Amino acid sequence: MFSKLAAVAATLPLLALAAPLADIVGNGSTVADDGKYYVESEGIRANFIPYGASISNLWVTDVHGLERDIVLGFDNASYYGIDKQHPHLGGVPGRYANRIKNSTFEIDGEVFHTDPNEHGGLNTLHGGSNGWDYRNWTVVAHTTDSITFSIIDEDGEQGFPGQVISYVTYTLTPYQWHLRMTAVATTKKTPIMLSSHVYWNLDGFQNPDEATALNHTLSLPYSGQRVGTDGILIPDGTILPNQLYDINDFWSSPKQLGANFSNPDLLGNCGTNCTGYDTCYIVNRAQNGPYDWHDKPVATLASPWSGIQIDIFSEQEAFQVYSCGGQNGSLAIKETQGFFNTSRPRVVPQYGCIVMEVEDWVDAINQPEWQRSKRNIFGPGDGPYVLEATYNFSVNHDLSAPYNASKATLSGY
């Protein structure tokens, strides 16, 4: 019933859904001079931009009582289309997130070729070189605590069959960010997989002793398995065990991202010559009986310095983690981050961030034996593709003790 309603809503002509845009800055304008749309609630405020339907800033208050901007991005909306060397900053990859093997897939016996935009043309990443996070979406609604973007992706765009219409709504409630993404294939069967591609640094680059995210602690309580890949991170069909205490074990207990960096096995763990993580962890919950995805997080990330903790709740069944091994100091941090009074370069260092993507199993369209086509292929008459997630922010006060999720508290705000 619910998904039928959502399907109807998502297929309405764009303007029928449009609510009056809020005079959000209180001076007759809906958008600030920097091209950003402001949204806020108690204990949390964020800026969004049409480019990629991206989040560009997210502030929460830390254990020191100061607001930190904990996501990577640019200072203004216009710069996103200019610096294309640093894409996917906080946007929505689409129409098919993550990688497509050999830029090829087959539906009902017909073979399709998508734009081969990675590894010199060996595969497609995040929907191609004109994927959804390289385009300006339309702002269809904007209130003080929410914003809705839409995009129409035409038949044949980047090689994908059929038209897709998508809506992405971000809502802030006290200490929480909610994401709801829907997409409908209006004319032909096509792959659809979306995600939110935010780069996090929970210290806002203002920890005087540490500019990386390697001291952040990660917990993936349902992820005893991961997708096996080749050296360019294309799934090879295998599902691998994250054995107890192994480098990919984030399920048995929370662990610092950098905890296993002295282990030589970490070299190659995120592709050939890459040290760290760029890994599609599987979220296994059904074996425990019926569950409500709002009840327990699929991931928790916490910084021992700022005390800021994110609990991520989602109905999605995979979780990609990237530890920013590819950063090399060429990406500047925002004016709202880091220091101006020290000699530390105002850039993102290697391992200076972590990307966490709620999504489905990477490249499931090329692994039919995984039997996930209902979650990856959508056609006219099917229900909409839906992604929902809630990011819950809190502050740990007992920083001397090792991170312990059940001791976190909201009382610091």
How many residues does this entry show for the chain?
A: 413
Supply the minimum distance, in Å, between the C-beta of residue 112 and ligand NAG. 10
Q: Cβ contacts of residue 385 below 8 Å, gap of 6+? A: 181, 182, 183, 184, 192, 193, 194, 378
Q: How far is the CB of 141 from ligand NAG (least distance, A)?
A: 17
Of residues 76 and 284, the one with the C-beta less far from ligand NAG: 76
Is 23:43 a contact under the CB 8 Å cutoff?
A: no
Q: Which among 185, 91, 168, 171 is positioned nearest to 130, based on CA atoms?
A: 91
Q: Least CB distance from residue 263 to ligand NAG, whole Å?
A: 4
* CB 95 to ligand NAG: min, Å: 18
What is the CB neighbour count within 10 angstroms for residue 412? Answer: 17
Could you tell me the smallest distance in angstroms from the CB atom of residue 380 to ligand NAG?
27
Task: Name which of 10 and 332 has its Cβ closer to ligand NAG.
Answer: 332
Q: What is the nearest approach in angstroms of ligand NAG to the Cβ of residue 332?
A: 6
CB of 185 to ligand NAG, least distance (A): 23
CA angle 148, 204, 254 (to 5 degrees): 90
Q: How many helices (H) and strands (E) does the chain have?
A: 2, 25
Q: Toward ligand NAG, which CB reaches closer, 184 or 233?
A: 233
**Residues lying near ligand NAG in the complex (CB under 6 A):** 25, 27-29, 32-33, 35, 49-51, 74-79, 81, 85, 102, 104, 113, 136, 209-210, 215, 245-247, 255-256, 259-260, 263, 272-273, 304-305, 311, 328, 330, 339, 341-342, 392, 394, 404, 406-408, 410
Nearest to 175 by CA among 23, 47, 54, 46: 46
d(CA 280, CA 9): 31
CB-side exposure of 15: number of CA atoms within 13 Å? Answer: 0
- C-alpha–C-alpha distance, residues 16 and 6, integer Å: 14
What is the C-alpha to C-alpha distance for residues 172 and 40, in angstroms, rounded to an integer?
6
Give just the sign of the alpha carbon dihedral 152, 153, 156, 157.
positive
Comparison of 3 and 330: residue with beta carbon closer to ligand NAG? 330
CB of 245 to ligand NAG, least distance (A): 4
What single-letter amino acid sits at 4?
A: K
CA atoms within 13 A on the CB side of 345: 11
Q: How far is CA 97 from CA 36, 91, 169, 271, 369, in A?
A: 24, 11, 18, 18, 20
* Nearest to ligand NAG of 68, 255 (CB atom): 255
For ligand NAG, which is the closer residue by CB, 291 or 339?
Answer: 339
First to last CA, the chain: 39
Please say which residue, 1 or 262, places its beta carbon nearer to ligand NAG.
262
Please tell me the distance from the alpha carbon of residue 265 to that of residue 257, in angstroms, as a whole number.
14
Q: How far apart are CA 218 and CA 130, in angstroms?
A: 32
Question: 388 and 228 in contact (C-beta within 8 Å)?
Answer: no
Q: Of 371 and 406, which CB lies nearer to ligand NAG in the complex structure?
A: 406
Residues labelled as active-site residues: 197, 357
